[in-house]
């Protein structure tokens, strides 16, 4: 079935108290809008239309980063949800498939729920949920299997307020019918706005079928404040951790592991406590990430070990059986199979060949204040502790550097490079220097 997504994302989110458009506030390292877009991907939509308003330029940039084919349209005045959905009319001109209206600040509707919504044979289908505490939600008034109307809490009779089946706001209908019904929506209400909640009543008045697809209440969580944002992030983390463990990943202390929307971890991987996965991380099966490590924009291959207290920055590629140890930072670097960077080192803008060993305190000096430069280290090289590799630089296969060296020229295959000043020893000078310093300190103490 041909489908199109209309995602309403025009609100400022006043309760966020922020200059950032509400839908761009992050959950699990990604704007909440991206969560809604990603859920809709399962439908393989022919069109994705984002209705933006406040901060439209920033929203457009964010949308393009995840789906360059999505179209952003502008709702210049915020006159209600029906008015917002109507802004997608031109973008969907000539499209006769099913349109699904989603909300950018309701990010947790599951892909499976959207599939069920799309498969409904009814003319209009509304997504509803059984609320544990209906509170002030709109109620879905049913007549058998047909939805008669949506009634807002303030307008509901006492008996209608007893209804626990509530409105999520999400709905689906053939695009031509959707816009035809929207044209009939009035604004005879206190806010003088046009609401999608009128569509079921209008459809039933025409003799059309209106059905309800039901979902879990947790899927309908809307986000309007920083507190709700934090709660949403916690909900995502709980669900994502459980899914990983179901998929065969070992999380030693699940509640301490932070995941991003796009985190991928293969089965039989071991994740120790207090690990943070930023966006863009893939960890293959059988890898180990030790405690207190931070990974972002990187790929960790099978059998590799990272940490503890390691940082992998964007552009890091670790091959099989690589060892990255404590207090090591890797950035824009490829570490080949079996190589080791075990202690207190920075490797950036570099390639490290297979089975090479990078000693403690090694730094690839990649930045001259203006430009970044690369370091190329060959296979089976041994970089002595506290070596400064001043890029651009190539260290050949089976080469070695002496500890404490500052290497500024290429090192040939199999060569040993030593670049450090000769040691100078002055007999008795240490005692004299200590005596001078102690006397100076005593004079300063008396003066104070």
The sign of the CA dihedral 178, 181, 187, 188 is negative
Question: Which of the following is catalytic: 47, 294, 299, 343?
Answer: 343
Does 343 participate in catalysis according to the annotation? yes
Q: Which residues contact 381 (CB under 8 A, 6 or more apart)?
A: 352, 353, 356, 357, 395, 396, 397, 398, 399, 400
Structure-derived torsion over alpha carbons of residues 152, 87, 51, 72, reported in degrees to the nearest 10: 170
Longest CA–CA span in the chain (Å) reads: 105
Tokens of 166: 């509530």
| Rounded to 5°, angle at Cα 345 from 342 and 350 | 100
Residue pair 244/224 in contact by the 8 Å Cβ criterion: no
List, in sequence order, every residue forming a beta bridge with 98; answer none if it has no partner: 3, 174
Q: What is the 3-state secondary structure (H, E, C) of 221-240?
A: CCCCCHHHHHHHHHHHHHHH
In the block, tokens 């290497």 appear at 407
Q: In sequence order, what E strands does 282-422 have?
A: 282-283, 288-289, 294-295, 298-300, 305-306, 311-312, 316-318, 323-326, 329-335, 340-343, 346-352, 357-358, 363-365, 375-377, 382-383, 388-390, 393-395, 400-401, 406-407, 416-417
Which residues, 6 or more positions from 263, have their beta carbon under 8 angstroms from its beta carbon?
A: 240, 277, 281
To which residue do tokens 């001259």 refer? Answer: 368
- Residues assigned a catalytic role: 343
């Amino acid at each position: 079935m041909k489908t199109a997504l209309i995602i309403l994302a025009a609100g400022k989110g006043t309760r966020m108290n922020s200059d950032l458009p509400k839908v761009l506030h992050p959950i699990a390292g990604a704007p909440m809008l991206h969560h809604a877009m990603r859920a809709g991907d399962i439908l393989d939509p022919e069109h994705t239309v984002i209705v933006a308003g406040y901060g439209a330029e920033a929203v457009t940039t964010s949308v393009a980063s995840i789906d360059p084919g999505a179209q952003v349209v502008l709702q210049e005045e915020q006159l209600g949800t029906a008015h917002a959905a109507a802004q997608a009319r031109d973008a969907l001109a000539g499209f006769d498939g099913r349109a699904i209206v989603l909300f950018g600040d309701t990010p947790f509707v599951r892909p499976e729920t959207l599939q069920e919504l799309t498969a409904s044979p009814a003319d209009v289908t509304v997504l509803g949920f059984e609320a544990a505490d209906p509170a002030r939600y709109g109620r879905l008034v049913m007549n058998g299997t047909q939805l008669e109307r949506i009634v807002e809490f303030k307008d509901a009779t006492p008996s209608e307020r007893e209804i626990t089946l509530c409105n999520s706001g999400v709905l689906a209908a053939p695009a031509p019918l959707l816009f035809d019904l929207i044209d009939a929506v009035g604004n005879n209400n206190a806010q003088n706005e046009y609401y999608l909640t009128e569509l079921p009543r209008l459809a039933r008045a025409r003799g059309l079928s209106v059905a309800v697809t039901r979902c879990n209440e947790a899927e309908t969580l809307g986000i309007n404040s920083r507190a709700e944002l934090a709660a949403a992030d916690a909900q995502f983390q709980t669900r994502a951790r459980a899914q990983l463990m179901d998929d065969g990943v070992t999380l030693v202390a699940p509640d301490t592991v932070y995941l991003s929307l796009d985190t991928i971890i293969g089965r039989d991987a071991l994740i120790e406590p207090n690990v943070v996965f930023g966006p863009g991380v893939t960890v293959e099966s059988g890898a180990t990430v030790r405690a207190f490590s931070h990974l972002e924009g990187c790929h960790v291959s099978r059998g590799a070990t990272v940490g503890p207290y390691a940082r992998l920055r964007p552009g890091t590629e670790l091959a099989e059986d690589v060892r990255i140890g404590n207090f090591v930072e890797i950035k824009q670097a490829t570490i080949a199979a079996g190589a080791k960077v075990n202690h207190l080192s920075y490797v950036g803008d570099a390639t490290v060949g297979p089975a090479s060993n990078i000693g403690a305190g090694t730094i690839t000096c990649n930045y001259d204040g203006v430009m970044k430069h690369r370091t190329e280290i060959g296979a089976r090289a041994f970089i002595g502790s506290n070596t400064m590799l001043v890029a651009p630089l190539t260290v050949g296969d089976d080469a070695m550097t002496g500890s404490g060296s500052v290497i500024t020229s290429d090192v040939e295959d199999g060569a040993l490079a030593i670049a450090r000043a000769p040691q100078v020893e002055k007999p008795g000078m240490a005692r004299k220097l200590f005596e001078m310093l102690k006397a100076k300190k005593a004079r300063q103490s008396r003066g104070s």
